[in-house]
Chains A and B, each alone.
Chain A
């Protein structure tokens, strides 16, 4: 009967011991609740219930996933009829607000495309920040993250990164032309705006020792940059390029003066338990499809993003197969 739980994906046991503990507790609670719900029939407690609970307990102990996460997200989404996606609302043109208050952007298109594939009509968009998106995902607040998330080794321990990656960015700065920055080392001792939770903050601090001023969200940092509170804004080069190429007069006196560093693939994030499950598989297939069909290149054009070599390369590679 334990095989009924077969969609639980084995997770590296060493990954987080406290999750094992919480999984165990969850299983015990489930057992107690199930025993309690028998009510008057408690005396004739069915053996089936007992075994099922024991299985759950064993599964949780061995695999260290909590009960909530053990369920198949794909089935859940279908049942709810809603796909809940963590997206950015401050990252033009990937995810941003238009004046009517609606969130639009390239990543929102991707989210809609996944929902369409699953066959649900409703997509709930949950704005996330770099600092909270992985928490939201693992807590189950959202089903997947499409929020300009860099695919790093450290993060792979916490969330499932869907391959092939849908985009690639690197680190650069946006600064006023008058700042006259030429090299990364010019940042030493200067005030540089950044956003809480970005993976490159620590690396850049350690390598070039700027005085980093970190804000909760992108608008705060952009407001600060425009107000002259810092000399540059440290961010993904893709956002900077698309900001500058938008032809917006407000950015006319700004530039991206340095060579992009530390190339980073972006990935859609799912829960680790889903990565090799039906849900993860579906998203992976979609991602392959987007690359192959040129959908991503199309979207790039639609949202006015400068052509990324990564997308062209991946498109060629997958088509060749």
Chain B
């Protein structure tokens, strides 16, 4: 809603609903910088709280920042591993998900039904349970004739995370295709396009733009879900954080360590979220 020039406001009306004003917190770059500043501030604050708590300790102990710096490279390395896992899972999940999504709109009834069932099944199962499922039930190596493919634990974890990604990508693809008005299919048909031509030359190029934002959103969710691999015994940033905390055994370190881990993920996922938002807005304008 547009703000009226102040002099034209009817005297008796209170200013109009502020709820509908576009929220500056989400739109301006300045705000995002403020966010960053405040988050870093929060981190320093968390260290401060902990430092205050540990001030009463009887034994002299190394400062929180020293301990944090000592472990930061190791935990940071673990975080890079999380990122690597997320990229690999996304690649596998996207490829299989596109197939599954196209399968859902297949003219063949059985293929469409099976694709629909698989999508629903993997979309509605908890990620952690799927991860357990794959970790425990996939063999350690695949034998294809004389060829033996080893399946190390990290690879299984990637597959375990790729399954729900696949189902969600399938849903994005199906949704994107369905969002294009059906009349386009009909008019293209009347122009003697084949089904394949309609799909690849007319529908998908339009739908693709709409699929990108939810796809990126899914990637951010996946990146955050990679911490689940710590629960099934793979060493990632979360495992290393816990191991470090046990090794140090100081209660005052919990807050700064977990805050550091949270901020690592935030620093990676927040820019993706902002990019997704701006893309979403641009796509929305174009259609």
Contacts and interface: CB of A to CB of B under 8 A. Distances in A.
User: Are A and B in contact, CB atoms below 8 Å, in the complex?
Assistant: yes
Interface string A112-156: 000000000000001111001001100111000000000000000
B139 A68 contact: yes
Interface string B68-109: 001100100100000000000000000000000000000000
B135 A132 contact: yes
B144 to A, nearest CB: 8
B233 to A, nearest CB: 5
A217 B70 contact: no
Interface residues of A, number: 36
Nearest to B251: A226
A203 to B, nearest CB: 24
B275 interface: no
Interface stretch (A96-104, A274-282, A295-303, A311-319): A96-104
Interface in A240-257: 248-251
Contacts of B254: 223, 227
A287 interface: no
A14 interface: no
Contacts of B146: 37
B233 A100 contact: no
B281 interface: no
A216 interface: yes
Contacts of B136: 132, 135
B249 A248 contact: yes
B10 to A, nearest CB: 59
B194 to A, nearest CB: 36
A72 interface: no
A220 B242 contact: yes
A135 B248 CA distance: 32
B246 A68 contact: no
From A99, A100, A128, A218, residue with most partner B Cβ within 10 Å: A99
A140 B143 CA distance: 13
Nearest to B141: A140
A82 to B, nearest CB: 11
Contact of B243 (A33, A97, A132, A135): A97
B245 interface: yes
Interface string B143-154: 111100000110
A263 interface: no
Interface residues of B, number: 33
A141 B153 contact: yes
Contacts, number: 74
Interface in B197-247: 231-233, 235, 239-240, 242-247
A300 B278 CA distance: 61
A222 B246 contact: yes
A219 interface: yes
Nearest to A140: B140
A126 B77 CA distance: 18
A137 to B, nearest CB: 10
A171 interface: no
B66 to A, nearest CB: 12
A90 B240 CA distance: 10
A238 interface: no
A99 B72 CA distance: 10
A36 B145 CA distance: 9
B183 interface: no
Nearest to A128: B233
A90 B139 contact: no
B195 interface: no
Interface in B14-69: 59
B140 A101 contact: no
Interface string B140-175: 110111100000110000000000000000000000
B6 to A, nearest CB: 56
A44 B24 CA distance: 78
A68 B143 CA distance: 9
15 contacts: A36-B145, A37-B145, A67-B143, A89-B235, A96-B243, A99-B247, A101-B77, A127-B233, A141-B153, A216-B231, A219-B239, A219-B242, A227-B251, A227-B254, A250-B248
The 10 closest A-B pairs by CB, nearest first: A250-B249, A141-B140, A219-B242, A219-B246, A140-B140, A139-B140, A97-B243, A101-B74, A33-B145, A129-B233
